[in-house]
Each structure stands twice: as C-alpha cells, then as structure tokens.
Chain A
Amino acid sequence: MGMTRNIVGEHRELGDENRYTTLNLGPTHPATHGIFQNVLTMDGEVIVRSEPTIGYIHRAFEKLAERRPYAQITPITDRLNYCSAPINNMGWHMTVEKLLGVEIPKRVQYLRVIIMELARISDHLICNSVLGVDTGALTGFVYLFQFRELIYEIYEEICGARLTTNIGRIGGFERDFSPTAWAKIDKFMKEYPVALKEFEKLLKRNRIFMERTIGVGAISAERALSYSFSGPNLRATGVDYDVRVMEPYSSYEDFDFEIPVGKNGDTYDRFLVRQEEMWQSLSIIRQAIEKLPEGPYHADVPEFYLPPKEQVYNNMEALIYHFKIVMGETDIPKGEVYHCVEGGNGELGFYLISDGGRTPFRLHFRRPCFIYYQAYPEMIQGSNISDAILTMSSLNVIAGELDA
C-alpha cells in the first residue's frame, strides 16, 4: 500500500536557502560580451542578489608601467578600453605633455580631436548596436559594423594599426594624415550619417525595443554620483558632467556642441544619450575639418619626439637626440600630474607621479568601467535575468578597462 505524501506542505517548510537558486552567469557566457562572472541568487526568474567577480583579465598595467619608459606605456593604454583605444592613447600623450610643459600646435590638437571623436563614434556604435542584438535585432549591428570597419581603416591609414592603435606620439603624430586617410574620413562623414539615421529609425521608436529597455536597469542621479559614475551612463541620469566641457583639453573649447542628457537613467536613456553623442561627434569632426589650421604635425620638442630617420643619419643634432631619447637620457621633471579625458565610458584619468626617472614612479589609471560596474548588483536587483543582460550591455562594461 502506497503512502500519501503532502508535497505542498513539504515545499512550504523549506527554508530560504532552498527557495533560491544559485546561478553562475559567466565568466564566459555568450550573452555578456566579455569575461564577467556574476553569481546570481534567483527567486524563480527574479534576481535577489548578485555577486560579481572581476579580475579575469587583469594584466597588472600599473605595475608594468613602473618599468616602461613613457613612450612604451602608450601600448598599455590601448588595452584599457579597446573599443576606443585612440582616446586612451591621446589621454596618455597629453598627461606626459602636461608633465613636460609642452606646447602643442593647433593643427595637432584638431587632428587629435578628429581621431578621438571617430573613436567615440566607434565605441558608441558598438555599444548601441550590440544592445540591439541583445533585444533581438541583429540587423542594425551587422549594418553599422561596416562603419566601424571604415573607422579602423582610417586608423590604419594614420598609424598602421587597427584595434590596439598606439596612435600618435608624445608631442604630436608620427606623420601627417595622408590623402587616402582624408578620403576615407570624407567617405565616412558622407555615408555614416545616412546609416546612423536608418539605424535610429530601426530602434528608437521600435515598440519591442522600447518595451525591453524603458525602466530597465535604472539608477537615480544621486546614486550614480555616489558611485562616481561618469560619461554617458551618468549623463543618462540627467547630470551634465562632460570632461570635454568642464575641463576642455586639446582645443575642445573651439567647437560648438551639446551635451545630451537623459532623465531616468535607464537602459533606454543610455541608448538615447549615446545615439545623440554620435551626432554631436559628427558635428565636432565636421567643424574640426573645416577649421583645421595649417602647421606642423608635431610639437617642437626634440628631446622627446624622435627625429625622422633620414635626419638621424645625416644630421648631428638629430643623431644626438635620437640616442638620448632611445637611451633614456632626457631630463624629465619631477611632479604629480592628473589629466583626464572624456573616454568612451566617461572620465578616463591618469594620475602620474614622476621622480625624475625614465619611467613613472607611480601611474594610476582612473578607469570609469571599474568604478561604475560596482553599481551593477544594485541596478539589477529585482529584475529578470534577461533585463540584467541588457543593463550590462547598455553600461558598456569593457573587460579590459575593468580589470586593467
């Protein structure tokens, strides 16, 4: 004879620890676009707690930098936010130039602005189109991706590299933009606005997209500031903090542009802010091309800027400077510098202490991703797992910048 068993009663007696499911999201999960681990405590479909583990691609950049001459640190900065490596490179060059007190020619500053704004566009277009992919719209992603390819071709034409660019030098550029580079920039400026408009039409008022993103992963301005948010994620909450305007560098004060801000700090607002920033970036590039002054493509700092090779072989001074730079014989001032730029994800800062040696005594990177990713558990608490994926996408967490 079978025994009857009251399974409903049994279920009720289970403690909290049995009611929740533990779910490992990551470290390598196709939906998280990078190496992030989150141990989620789930109540059915709802996230109760989340415990992020980071550091999977930690490469000890701050330690490495203490044993690299200044020029050799530029490739390290490439690998922070690798979606917009040129901004990191320029930020580093400007930090060293600030330490050395180098006057940079206007033309170099404008060329830098063009490159940095192209990098911002490539950063934002990846973030926004991938957000589309995560909501089920692959088309926009594959359509816009060809323009990132075009941006990479422009980098390639200027510096020879594509993803980790190592673009420019301390003091300027290694060469002027070639006619091919200008032709590619023109092509981009002509074709990209059309494609961006189409992409925008695809998603901006799309009912599915709006329902998936509005109110998802929201954070208030107050909490965002307490978490030291910066960049588009902070601006989506309604705070108009942009380094380009607050502390203009590289002649940003010469250009006329707006800082788009959101209101609710949710995934949809972050999408809109990035979208509008791309339009603003296009306008800045257009203005920079129009106003581009003539002049040299590097500053006159023979002690830090390598002379052209033909001069090294034929000119005594050039040979001496070449030797001094390569052997690290140039004098570097002592001091503490903080310089920041508006990176793809916010305030990217370089805190550099020089004790007069060839390498930094200490270099600290203020990495916006590292700082705002800690708010992620708070932002996804109580939401569904599918919304958590969207929140992470729209925060544009880049593993390289997160883990240094």
Chain B
Amino acid sequence: MESAEQSETLTLLTERFGDSILSTDVHYGILSLSVKQAAIVDIIHFLYDHPQLRYQYLTTLCGIHYPELSQIAVMYQLHSLENNKRIRLKIWLPEDKPETPTITNLFAGANWMERETYDFFGVVFTGHPDLRRILNVEDMTIFPMRKEYPLEDQTREDKKDEMFGRLPHQHLRTS
C-alpha cells in the first residue's frame, strides 16, 4: 500500500498523464510506475518541475532485459531530496529496436548512465550528445547484458537454468 504522500504524487501524475500510466505498485517502500515510452520525458520533467514534488536528483538509471516478453525495460529512479521520497519509473521498449529520448538535458549525470545502458543493452537514447560504448571495447558487436548471451561455457551442466531454480528461458515478469 502506498503512503499518503505517495498517493498524492500518484493523483498528481494520474491527473496529467492518466493515459500513459500502465501500472502502479509500491515495491519495498518505493512508488514504482510502468509508463508508456512516449510520455517518459514529459513525466520526468513534470516530476522535476512540480513545486510540491521536486524530484530533482537522478539516483540511477539502468536497463533490464525480459526475454519472455521480447522487451527491454529502462528503469529510472528519481529522488526528491527536499521531501526525501523516491520514485521508480519503468518504460518498455521492443527488443529489436529499443529507442527512447535522452534525459541528459535535464540531468548532466544521465550521460554516462545512458551510455552504460546503451553499452550493455543496446538501448539507443536519441539526442544523446555522445552515445558510445563506455565500459566495453569499441569494436564489440553484441550487447552483453542481454539474456541470450550466456556467461559461462555452454558445455557446463552445473550452470544451466534448472540449477538456479528456474526453468530454461522462463524468466518471469515481476512488475
């Protein structure tokens, strides 16, 4: 259940972006929303500018690959230092062409976070000033954090999915 402040945030967001909010939940105290990709930049700007909310600190940003859904999610976690509240936003992008606008014009710190997400998941942040690989070598051709790239030697029996308590390729969607 969300707290009073969280429901207030939610009401403000629903009023303005009702059609773009896919689902809402509270995960271990953090208000988490799944939103439509088209609205993400507007929502972040709204959260940033709103005099009551003031989510002006970008804690982190990362990609998540859901092979069962053929989708790549991008998670943004914002923090309102004035109200000491956090919010998590998730957008869903198609695996074959993950693309979303950059938020570097709002947060200088998003630059490397987006580059990292591009490097590992192949998410293209349109309008990014310098979208290059950051931790991997330039001539790498794959996006290594995607689930189809196994970590270990494929001949090893002890590293199969069953050994980790899940059926092969049955990665469940958790939100």
Contacts and interface: CB of A to CB of B under 8 A. Distances in A.
Nearest to A228: B109
B146 to A, nearest CB: 10
A337 interface: yes
B84 A335 contact: no
A337 B28 contact: yes
Contacts of B30: 338
Given A353-B174, A357-B165, A335 B120 contact: no
A371 interface: yes
Contacts of A375: 108-109
Interface in A35-68: 54-55, 58, 60, 62-64, 66-67
A374 interface: yes
Interface string B108-124: 11011100100010000
Nearest to A67: B151
A243 B102 CA distance: 28
A371 B109 contact: yes
Contact of A374 (B112, B159, B166): B112
Interface in A239-259: 239, 241, 246-247
A401 to B, nearest CB: 12
Given A356-B172, A358-B164, A366-B60, A226 B109 contact: yes
Range of interface residues on B (Cβ < 8 Å): 35 or more
A36 to B, nearest CB: 13
B43 to A, nearest CB: 18
Interface in B157-175: 159, 163-166, 171-172, 174-175
A336 B27 contact: yes
A239 B84 CA distance: 14
A63 B145 contact: yes
Interface stretch (B1-9, B11-19, B51-59, B93-101): B51-59
B126 to A, nearest CB: 20
Contacts of B84: 246-247
Interface residues of A, number: 52
B44 interface: no
B136 A58 contact: yes
A349 interface: yes
B81 interface: yes
A358 B62 contact: no
B159 A62 contact: no
B151 A55 contact: no
B77 A338 contact: yes
15 contacts: A54-B135, A64-B151, A66-B151, A67-B151, A225-B57, A328-B165, A332-B165, A336-B28, A354-B174, A355-B171, A355-B172, A355-B174, A357-B166, A366-B59, A374-B109
Interface of A: 54-55, 58, 60, 62-64, 66-67, 69, 98-99, 223, 225-229, 239, 241, 246-247, 328, 332, 334-338, 340, 347, 349, 351, 353-359, 361-362, 364, 366, 370-375, 403-404
Given A355-B166, A375-B109, 4 more contacts: A338-B86, A358-B164, A374-B111, A404-B135
Interface of B: 27-28, 30, 32, 56-60, 62, 64-65, 75, 77, 81, 84, 86, 88, 107-109, 111-113, 116, 120, 134-137, 144-145, 151-152, 159, 163-166, 171-172, 174-175
